[in-house]
Structure 1
Amino acid sequence: MDNARDRITQEIVEAEDLKLLAAVDTYGYQCPGCQTQAFPRSYRPENLVRAHFQLRDPHVSGCEVEGEIKVIAQGKRGSVQQELETSPGLSPARLQLIEDRTIVDPALPHTESQTQSVRRSDGATGLVRREGRRAANSIRPICRAFLRFPFDRHLSLAIPGIAPTTYQTAFKKLRSKGLEPCPNARVFYGELAWTPAAESPEHLTISLNAGEWEEKKLTPYQVVVLWSKWSAAARGRLKNELEIARQENIKAKKDKQASRSYLFFVGAQDAKNPAIFHVLDHRLICTAHDELVFPVRS
Structure 2
Amino acid sequence: MIESARLRFQPDDEPLFAEDLVNLDQEWVESVRPDFICPTPSCDARVVAVLTRTPPRRRTPHFRNHDGVIHQDDCVYAAGRVDIHADGGEAVDPDTGLSTYASRLGRRTVRTVTTPDTAAGPLGPGSNGHRQRTRGPGSSHVDYERRRTVYTIRPLCRAFIDNVYQREHMIIDVPEITTTSSYLYAFKRLWRYDGQLEPRVRIFYGELRYRDRAEETDETTTVWLHAGTRENRYNLVIDHADWTAGEVRAMRRDLHTALAEAEDCVRGDTYEKTWAFFIGRQDTDRPATFHITDSTRICFITATIEHPQRVRPIR
Question: Do these two structures clear the TM 0.5 threshold for a shared fold by scoring above it?
Answer: yes
Per-residue deviation, 1:180: 3.6
* Alpha-carbon distance change, 272 to 261 in structure 1, aligned in 2, over 3 angstroms: same
Aligned to 2:232, the other structure's residue is in SS state strand
Q: Check conservation: 1:20, 1:237, Cα contact below 8 A.
A: no
Provide the rounded CA distance (Å) in 1 between the counterparts of 2:242 and 2:3.
Answer: 27
Provide the rounded CA distance (Å) in 2 between the counterparts of 1:115 and 1:20.
Answer: 31
Cross-structure match for 1:202: 219
Cross-structure match for 1:186: 202
Per-residue deviation, 1:224: 0.6
* 2:265 is equivalent to residue 257 of structure 1: no
Instruction: Select the residue among 168, 177, 185 that pairs with 1:162.
Output: 177
Provide the rounded CA distance (Å) in 2 between the counterparts of 1:134 and 1:242.
Answer: 27
User: What is the TM-score with the length of structure 1 in the denominator?
Assistant: 0.71
Provide the rounded CA distance (Å) in 2 between the counterparts of 1:96 and 1:40.
Answer: 24
Q: Which has the higher helix share?
A: 1
Letter in 1 for 2:188: K
Cross-structure match for 2:115: 111
* Alpha-carbon distance change, 242 to 292 in structure 1, aligned in 2, over 3 angstroms: same
Letter in 1 for 2:248: R
Provide the rounded CA distance (Å) in 2 between the counterparts of 1:247 and 1:277.
Answer: 23
Letter in 2 for 1:143: C
Cross-structure match for 1:153: 167
* Alpha-carbon distance change, 197 to 146 in structure 1, aligned in 2, over 3 angstroms: same
Q: Check conservation: 1:94, 1:159, Cα contact below 8 A.
A: yes
Per-residue deviation, 1:266: 0.8
Bigger RCO of structures 1 and 2 (CA < 8 A, at least 6 apart)? 1
Structure 1 spans left out of the alignment, 5+ residues: 105-109, 117-130
* 2:241 is equivalent to residue 232 of structure 1: no
Provide the rounded CA distance (Å) in 2 between the counterparts of 1:159 and 1:269.
Answer: 18
* 2:37 is equivalent to residue 29 of structure 1: yes
User: What is the TM-score with the length of structure 2 in the denominator?
Assistant: 0.68
Cross-structure match for 1:241: 254
* 2:233 is equivalent to residue 220 of structure 1: yes
Per-residue deviation, 1:96: 1.0
Structure 2 spans left out of the alignment, 5+ residues: 121-144
* Alpha-carbon distance change, 162 to 49 in structure 1, aligned in 2, over 3 angstroms: same
Provide the rounded CA distance (Å) in 2 between the counterparts of 1:42 and 1:200.
Answer: 26
Q: How does 1:111-150 map onto structure 2 within 5 Å?
A: 111-112=115-116, 132-150=146-164
Per-residue deviation, 1:277: 0.6
Instruction: Select the residue among 172, 188, 192 that pairs with 1:172.
Output: 188
* Alpha-carbon distance change, 188 to 249 in structure 1, aligned in 2, over 3 angstroms: same
Q: Which has the higher strand share?
A: 1
* 2:131 is equivalent to residue 92 of structure 1: no
Give per-residue Cα distances to partners, 1:42-76, cap 9 Å, x unaligned.
299xxx7411224563457xx9x8977x96xx99x
* 2:281 is equivalent to residue 271 of structure 1: no
Provide the rounded CA distance (Å) in 2 between the counterparts of 1:238 and 1:147.
Answer: 21
Aligned to 2:160, the other structure's residue is in SS state helix
Provide the rounded CA distance (Å) in 2 between the counterparts of 1:133 and 1:17.
Answer: 28
Aligned to 2:197, the other structure's residue is in SS state coil
Letter in 1 for 2:282: Q
Per-residue deviation, 1:182: 0.9
Per-residue deviation, 1:257: 1.7
